[in-house]
Structure 1
């Protein structure tokens, strides 16, 4: 019972079927853990204990009758607080939204409910998925379970922290420029930005219409596959929802690494930017682990990182300004200083800038597609530095933009973040695997193979620190 909080969603499902655990006992255990530890981490902005207990009772009764809704039946989940849950506030971590009660579930929440998952509550984020970590937003910023003096990465900060801390085995995040993969990487867990359009965004507060993705954060690749089997699929309520049929993400998960071709995009972190030596060594070790598992690993080149980054930034700032322009004009003081500073940039872009960026985007999509004709999976550094201290604004500003995540929001290719080491200060290091569009199942197979051979998937934060200041 003491290790329930480190069990994966798949582990919980197996225990339910074996009769060794019940959803009620799991929910009570996790609620107690949250009450004890979240005062240090601020991962949740709202815990709905009463509803979680009611859902757990219902799930337990259904299981006794032999009704099994899905592999996520009875599994507790956390929801990033810009995703609607009917009857609950969708705050976006902002004073501007504290009175916004959702009238209906977002599509992803409805699919989790139908699958029998248990909604534990709403998770912290950077304000409007851009402004953080901020002390002047509606709620305090989430902190890193490996060391609460350090930031989690964002913007799905609470999602990464909650999964890493053993509060939930599964959380939903969103990713516009890396906001699933950044906290997954800094918190030492697994995060998937699916192919653009694979998972519905209906009922999710937008940041950038053509860059936003919704996806899962978990402690194992198997759990990512379980989540995608529930979340993925066409939704007519999302205009960008893909009509390509969703694959069975579990079907080939355990086929191993043999026969897979990986290409390391080394120039992103060694030439275009210079990652820390720890990150460079960790990426090199990833290649060695994959080769030992039977994969083919070579180097491969894409256009310069700056070309991707600048193109993504123009589109992002133009589209986020379109979302926030009215409030920025009428209520600028209600934003945190970081959100206001970032969002205002879009006011200074013209239509020509946006059109030109879209032209570049097409060229960059073609370049990534061409690279993925030569290999099955790209290996790309995630963050170029470990997580900075949350109170060190200078170091935060210096390191936060040093990454290679945003290229794949721009191109829409699926990208998977996995832990691949520890820094000398005991903080997680992370790698990205990037796959072909609508081949998320192959990408997860690659991730599962790496997880098995590396052993990093079983790592957990010590959780023995005193209360953060």
Structure 2
């Protein structure tokens, strides 16, 4: 029999529906991989093998009765531990929420269960989704299954914040996983791990039941083996939700059916401002290859300008921490989660002790920055200015769409780096998001597709950014790259 853990969403769904194998066989195979690898990769905070089997048995029972299995029927997935899951611990990788078991289900996860998916477990991440390397989790670092070629044994970063998701998919612990993207947290880890991930248009997937970081930026999306799998999973995740005031009240397109790698008549924009100092030459070389691949697919390559790009990252690191400082004020030790109550302490002492104990250093750093820029003396000087910059970044994209249909850029300025190598340099760490943040500020759909390996044998990603609501255009351009890159490399199985 085929190794079922080498199959992606479409192959599993179609195989289960066609009777080639059962959903239980699939779940058992992935459960075994999780059990064998998690001690070394630390991708899962809480494995839930029983949940995967329960969903699989439901799918097999439906098939026996001839009922519709759903577009994710028989597919077990990893769930980033930012999504509330009824009856299963949800922590956002933070000590302050350790032991919190929600009595409700996030809209996105419920949509996936309704579509026939099952849950292999809750995936590790940077604490409260704040990080680019998956080193800020209270539950320990996630390790990238990829290592440098030539016998290098250094543990590499899987990217962040969705590092548990990228590691699990790359290591065949899950055929796909949910991620969230605030400033690149789906795309950057996808690039680091050699997988595909898409952040849809802001509002396309409900934020209800997702632990908030920066509410005007957070957006859920799929991370999977290829473009087709991302299209299928996004179709299952998306949809209007009256419980989320920012949810798009629009029908969900049939993205899988609409996939088409023929880009004849399409114009691909190349932003001159993205050729930034400090970007690896091999990244720039892969960008050049990407242009040729899209030209070969029938597209016209045009130069465009996004003049406010250089201001996007500093604006993001004002707006996102400001929203985080507001959102995270709810973690006070009163209603749920950790409570640290020193002897003789009053209410303010309890707040201080709980937050000091419960939040990690990076979360504290961002809360302090956010509180500072929202304070009375600095609100206009920082926060309001950053919002104006955000509007200018969005306007740059609006003007660019007059000249092109989608934009091609690198996903990251470098390939993955060793864990610990940037821990003492938060500013350099923040620069990992330099190519991803502009699309987040503008709320645009954007995806990362594997583009090959560098000279160290590590994956590189190319990013496609599209017009609002045009996930189909992004997916189609991604498919054109995927077909020409023919990326089939996978990490050597050193962990089990």
Are residues 1:438 and 2:469 paired? yes
Tell me the equivalent position of 2:168.
162
Structure 1 spans left out of the alignment, 5+ residues: none
Within 2, Cα distance between the matches of 1:395 and 1:91?
Answer: 25
In structure 2, relative to structure 1, the CA distance for the partners of 1:13 and 1:442 (3 Å cut) is same
CA-to-aligned-CA distance 1:29-52 (integer Å, 9 cap, x gap):
111111112222111111111222
Within 1, Cα distance between the matches of 2:136 and 2:475?
Answer: 38
In structure 2, relative to structure 1, the CA distance for the partners of 1:51 and 1:244 (3 Å cut) is closer
In structure 2, relative to structure 1, the CA distance for the partners of 1:251 and 1:163 (3 Å cut) is same
| Bigger shift: residues 432-441 or 55-64 | 55-64
Within 2, Cα distance between the matches of 1:462 and 1:266?
Answer: 37
Q: How does 1:58-77 map to 2 (within 5 A)?
A: 58-77=58-77
Within 2, Cα distance between the matches of 1:113 and 1:327?
Answer: 29
Q: How does 1:261-340 map to 2 (within 5 A)?
A: 261-270=267-276, 273-325=277-329, 327=331, 330=352, 331-340=355-364
Q: How does 1:239-254 map to 2 (within 5 A)?
A: 239-254=245-260
Are 2:322 and 2:367, in contact at CA under 8 Å, matched by a contact in 1?
A: no
State the Cα distance separating 1:27 from its structure 2 match: 0.7
Tell me the equivalent position of 2:343.
none
In structure 2, relative to structure 1, the CA distance for the partners of 1:443 and 1:321 (3 Å cut) is same
Are residues 1:388 and 2:417 paired? yes
TM-score by length of 2: 0.89
Are 1:137 and 1:335, in contact at CA under 8 Å, matched by a contact in 2?
A: no
Tell me the equivalent position of 1:360.
389
In structure 2, relative to structure 1, the CA distance for the partners of 1:462 and 1:134 (3 Å cut) is closer
CA-to-aligned-CA distance 1:50-96 (integer Å, 9 cap, x gap):
22212111111111211123221110111100101101111111110
State the Cα distance separating 1:213 from its structure 2 match: 0.5
Are 1:266 and 1:380, in contact at CA under 8 Å, matched by a contact in 2?
A: no
Are 1:42 and 1:143, in contact at CA under 8 Å, matched by a contact in 2?
A: yes
Are 1:153 and 1:186, in contact at CA under 8 Å, matched by a contact in 2?
A: yes
Within 2, Cα distance between the matches of 1:267 and 1:65?
Answer: 57
Tell me the equivalent position of 1:204.
210
Structure 2 spans left out of the alignment, 5+ residues: 148-153, 333-350
CA-to-aligned-CA distance 1:80-127 (integer Å, 9 cap, x gap):
001011011111111100121111110001111111111111000000
In structure 2, relative to structure 1, the CA distance for the partners of 1:80 and 1:347 (3 Å cut) is same
State the Cα distance separating 1:357 from its structure 2 match: 2.2
Q: How does 1:115-126 map to 2 (within 5 A)?
A: 115-126=115-126
Point out 4+ residue stretches in structure 1 off by more than 3 angstroms. Answer: 131-137, 325-329, 393-400
SS at match of 1:450: helix
Within 2, Cα distance between the matches of 1:319 and 1:297?
Answer: 38
Tell me the equivalent position of 1:145.
145
State the Cα distance separating 1:256 from its structure 2 match: 2.0
Tell me the equivalent position of 2:12.
12
SS at match of 1:214: strand
State the aligned residue count. Answer: 463
State the Cα distance separating 1:320 from its structure 2 match: 0.7
Are 1:131 and 1:342, in contact at CA under 8 Å, matched by a contact in 2?
A: no
| Bigger shift: residues 196-205 or 251-260 | 251-260
CA-to-aligned-CA distance 1:296-318 (integer Å, 9 cap, x gap):
11221102422111222221111
SS at match of 2:401: helix
TM-score by length of 1: 0.94
State the Cα distance separating 1:232 from its structure 2 match: 1.5
State the Cα distance separating 1:135 from its structure 2 match: 6.3
Are residues 1:401 and 2:411 paired? no
Are 1:45 and 1:139, in contact at CA under 8 Å, matched by a contact in 2?
A: yes
Within 2, Cα distance between the matches of 1:419 and 1:193?
Answer: 15
Are residues 1:187 and 2:216 paired? no
Tell me the equivalent position of 2:479.
448
Tell me the equivalent position of 2:79.
79
Are 1:131 and 1:336, in contact at CA under 8 Å, matched by a contact in 2?
A: no
State the Cα distance separating 1:255 from its structure 2 match: 4.7
CA-to-aligned-CA distance 1:338-358 (integer Å, 9 cap, x gap):
222233211210332322322
Q: Cα RMSD between the aligned structures?
A: 1.9
Tell me the equivalent position of 1:219.
225
Between structure 1 and structure 2, the one with the greater Rg is 2
